[in-house]
């Protein structure tokens, strides 16, 4: 596993996995920095995202072919096990021979799987912070993952809030560290 992108993807999944495993039984309904999302909603969102990877990357299916298979609650009675299975399947799909070069039909058009994987790393990094805040865990993110996420988001940071899925970017404090700048880009105040 010498591919730097796959290394970062694995690290991001491991980090989110660590936080999912730290969720207390009484914390699944706790709020997070994501408006209207509880801890369970946030983990459900990330789990559903991982579930999309094998059909799109490995099977070459379109979003229309997958349909609503991952809508609603994908966590069931054991959210931790559901996350673990989805993360393992996502990791395996991206690590498959030639997987990162394949075109993937995303909602905004076909793109190479390596770009899709990079976006998934960014999402996992930011949502790890959200989950950490929601459950009162350590919010400090690893520097290499923050640096990767910053580079990933820079080209399209300004347009994120236009999608309706992100809050408008904030102005980080003068001299802010990389993590604070990253979070500000996605409308989060560290």
- Nearest one of 29, 3, 33, 10 to 126, comparing CA atoms: 33
Q: What is the pLDDT of residues 16-25, one digit of tens each?
A: 999 999 999 9
- The Cα 174–Cα 96 span in angstroms is 43
Task: Please tell me whether residue 76 adopts helix, strand or coil conformation.
Answer: coil
Query: Do 169 and 185 meet the contact criterion of CB atoms below 8 Å apart?
Result: yes
Query: Do 38 and 32 meet the contact criterion of CB atoms below 8 Å apart?
Result: yes
Q: What is the pLDDT of residues 91-144, one digit of tens each?
A: 999 999 999 999 998 888 889 999 999 999 999 999 999 999 999 999 999 999
Q: What is the pLDDT of residue 167?
A: 79
- The Cα 67–Cα 162 span in angstroms is 24
**Which DSSP category does 26 fall into?**
T
Q: Please state the rounded mean pLDDT for residues 157-183.
A: 85
């Amino acid at each position: 596993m010498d591919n730097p992108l796959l290394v970062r993807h694995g690290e991001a999944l491991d980090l989110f996995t660590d936080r999912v495993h730290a969720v207390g039984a009484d914390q699944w309904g706790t709020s997070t920095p994501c408006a209207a999302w509880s801890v369970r909603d946030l983990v459900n969102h990330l789990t559903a995202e991982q579930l999309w990877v094998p059909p799109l990357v490995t099977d070459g299916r379109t979003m229309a072919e997958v349909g609503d298979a991952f809508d609603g609650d994908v966590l069931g009675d054991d959210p931790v096990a559901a996350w673990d299975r989805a993360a393992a399947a996502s990791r395996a799909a991206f690590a498959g021979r030639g997987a990162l070069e394949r075109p993937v039909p995303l909602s905004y058009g076909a793109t190479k799987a390596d770009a899709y994987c990079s976006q998934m790393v960014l999402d996992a990094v930011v949502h790890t912070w959200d989950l950490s805040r929601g459950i009162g865990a350590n919010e400090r993110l690893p520097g290499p993952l923050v640096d990767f996420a910053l580079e990933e988001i820079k080209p399209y940071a300004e347009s994120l809030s236009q999608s309706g899925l992100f809050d408008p970017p904030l102005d980080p404090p003068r001299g802010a560290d990389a993590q604070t700048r990253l979070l500000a880009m996605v409308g989060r105040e560290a």
